[in-house]
């Protein structure tokens, strides 16, 4: 794999190389020579592996359909989410004994981690939530889906998601809503096709994902390539309630134009009040809205998050105009086709059909 990476660098260093950091069975290679999660530090930093830690930390095990994860209220997942935020690297504020699968950091640099919650294998994220949270309302499950997206797109590493997650892709086996195809590689188009009508049905979810992607592209601090930069500039908030995780990025690393970022996740079914560093903060992600325009402004001290939601705040020198809810809705109604005109969603974002 290192030889492959070296040859590809001669063609284009921007080519992304990643794979599953585990075997599907026995291998003839000795353990120490396998391109596994456990051996990532011996691989070129331009080779990445999927993080099953953050995947199952977010939504629950892919092998246990009814198991919940952080977004669906499972307790004790905070350290796993923090591990995902730093892209499987070493950070002094993480208790690795409480991370779900990895008792130690396995990535030498954040570029070696694929941060994700959904892919072609297993249940879609929406179907997983249907089976693991059968008593929750659709409204709450949508909020869980949004929270998952917020975690993926504000974490270090390379974000990755299954095509259609942004409009709650589902693969039902019948009309009961209780049975879903979790291994559809040989299923017909009736199962695997993208149901584009869901984009209109769940337009707010689509817009939220679109906003998250735009925000990530706007802030290079979310795309650090060196573990040392993460260690020196990213600090987790302390004294938080259970099922709440937050962090700040200060000192404008990796060419970041803002003075600081503050990201908070609340997986509780009640609102959460969180203390944040003093100063004037602009809110860009809140409730079911996300993007590059200011939704609100707060002046340090503390903020209150809605139930099952994320909040992202930016401390910046320049003054920007706050956008109203009415303006957001007007923009949504008038620009449903805008994403299709934009082409690429930005570098180092992977979408798998």
The pLDDT value recorded for residue 317 is 76
Report d(CA 91, CA 98) in Å as an integer: 14
Mean pLDDT of 72-99: 99
Count of beta carbons in the 10 Å neighbourhood of residue 75: 10
Domain range for 87: 2-220
The pLDDT value recorded for residue 240 is 99
pLDDT at 325 over 90: no
- Note whether 209 and 158 are same-domain residues: yes
254-310 pLDDT tens trace: 999 999 999 999 999 999 999 999 999 999 999 999 999 999 999 979 999 999 999
Query: Mean pLDDT, the chain, as a whole number?
Result: 93
Answer yes or no: is 226 within a domain.
no
- Note whether 210 and 288 are same-domain residues: no
Q: Which tokens go with 150? A: 């917020």
- Tell me the H-state helices in the chain: 2-11, 52-59, 78-85, 125-132, 138-153, 189-192, 197-201, 203-218, 227-233, 325-334, 338-342
- Note whether 213 and 256 are same-domain residues: no
Local structure of 231: helix, strand or coil: helix
Q: Provide the residue count of the chain.
A: 353
- Note whether 7 and 69 are same-domain residues: yes
Answer yes or no: is 352 within a domain.
no
Question: For helices 138-153 and 125-132, what crossing angle results, to 10°?
Answer: 130
- Note whether 211 and 245 are same-domain residues: no
């Amino acid at each position: 794999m290192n030889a492959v990476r070296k040859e590809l660098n001669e063609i284009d260093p921007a080519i992304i190389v990643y794979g599953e950091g585990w075997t599907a069975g026995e291998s003839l290679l000795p353990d120490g020579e396998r391109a596994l999660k456990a051996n990532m530090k011996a691989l070129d930093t331009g080779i990445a592996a999927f993080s099953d830690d953050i995947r199952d930390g977010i939504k629950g095990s892919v092998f246990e359909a009814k198991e919940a994860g952080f977004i669906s209220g499972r307790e004790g997942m905070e350290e796993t989410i923090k591990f995902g935020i730093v892209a499987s690297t070493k950070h002094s504020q993480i208790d690795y004994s409480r991370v779900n699968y990895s008792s130690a950091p396995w990535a030498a640099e954040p570029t070696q981690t694929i941060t994700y919650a959904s892919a072609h294998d297993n249940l879609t994220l929406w179907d997983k939530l249907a089976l693991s949270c059968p008593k929750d309302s659709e409204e709450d499950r949508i909020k869980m889906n949004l929270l998952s997206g917020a975690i993926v797109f504000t974490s270090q590493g390379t974000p990755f998601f299954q095509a259609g997650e942004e409009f709650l892709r589902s693969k039902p086996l019948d009309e009961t809503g209780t049975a879903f195809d979790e291994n559809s590689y040989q299923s017909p188009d009736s199962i695997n096709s993208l149901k584009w009508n869901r984009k209109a049905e769940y337009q707010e979810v689509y817009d939220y994902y679109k906003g998250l992607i735009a925000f990530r592209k706007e802030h290079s601090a979310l795309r650090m390539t060196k573990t040392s930069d993460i260690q020196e500039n990213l600090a987790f908030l302390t004294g938080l309630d259970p099922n709440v995780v937050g962090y700040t990025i200060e000192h404008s690393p990796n060419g970041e134009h803002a003075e600081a970022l503050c990201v908070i996740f609340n997986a509780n079914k009640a609102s959460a009040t969180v203390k944040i560093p003093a100063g004037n903060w602009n809110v860009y992600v809140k409730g079911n809205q996300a993007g590059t325009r200011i939704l609100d402004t707060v002046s340090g001290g503390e903020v209150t998050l809605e139930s099952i939601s994320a909040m992202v705040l930016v401390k910046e020198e320049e003054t920007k105009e706050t956008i109203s809810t009415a303006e957001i809705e007007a923009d949504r109604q008038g620009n449903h086709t805008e994403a299709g005109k934009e082409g690429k969603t930005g570098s180092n974002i992977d979408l798998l059909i």
